[in-house]
Structure 1
Amino acid sequence: MLFAVICNDKPGSLQLRMDTRPDHLTFLEKLNADGALALAGPFLDSEGKPNGSLVVIDAPDQKAAELFAAQDPYAKAGLFASVEIRPWNWTFNKPETA
């Protein structure tokens, strides 16, 4: 089942995001290699600077999705003001149907 992990950064935390980004990307690359990453990317503010994340993962259940989110280096670094994890149905433009 797919889960959307919707994260909002704490205000004024761009430097923390940039400092932690290499570890975050390594984390996502492993998830991708394992076939569990559907898509990922940052939200942007009005100046085009990252201020949050959207990561869609394939996980067996809500608890597994929550464990994934807790292991993200951004989460471990205290970057996020909030994290919402919701089941998600990819309806349009799925790669296997494109």
Structure 2
Amino acid sequence: MPYLIETFDRPGGGALRLAVRDEHLAYLDSRVELLLACGAKLDEDGEAASGGIYLVDLETRAEAEAFIAADPFAKAGLFGEVAICRWRKAYLDGRNML
């Protein structure tokens, strides 16, 4: 069953996010087969990111925890908080998945 992972950056983490961004994107590219969707949470201007949302196709919470722990953003200490929960695909890409 898929998992939703929501990350929350530490205050003042903008410079660290930019410094590690290329490594983070390379990590996601290397695990693309697991990604149902993911992206940054942005401010109202669409400029600054403050965390992210990952929808990952993994079987266990332990796998979801390992996935986010291996993310270069996590390794660099960018995240102040990480929330993980199971997610049910009800609608995806405009289609009913139930």
- With the length of structure 2 as denominator, give the TM-score of the two structures: 0.90
Q: How many residue pairs are counted as aligned between the two chains? A: 95
CA distance in 2 between counterparts of 1:83 and 1:5 reads: 7
Which residue does the alignment assign to 2:43? 45
* Residue segments in structure 1 that go unaligned for 5+ positions in a row: none
Which residue does the alignment assign to 2:57? 58
Q: Does 1:3 align with 2:3?
A: yes
Of 40-49 and 55-64, more deviation after overlay is shown by: 40-49
Which residue does the alignment assign to 1:88? 87
Query: What per-residue deviation string (whole Å, max 9, x for no partner) do you get for residues 37-88 of structure 1?
Result: 1101000123421110101111121111111110000000000110001101
Displacement of 1:90 after TM fit? 1.8
Letter of the 1:51 counterpart: S
Q: Percent identity?
A: 34
* Residue segments in structure 2 that go unaligned for 5+ positions in a row: none
Q: Secondary structure at the match of 1:4?
A: strand
C-alpha RMSD of matched pairs (Å): 1.6
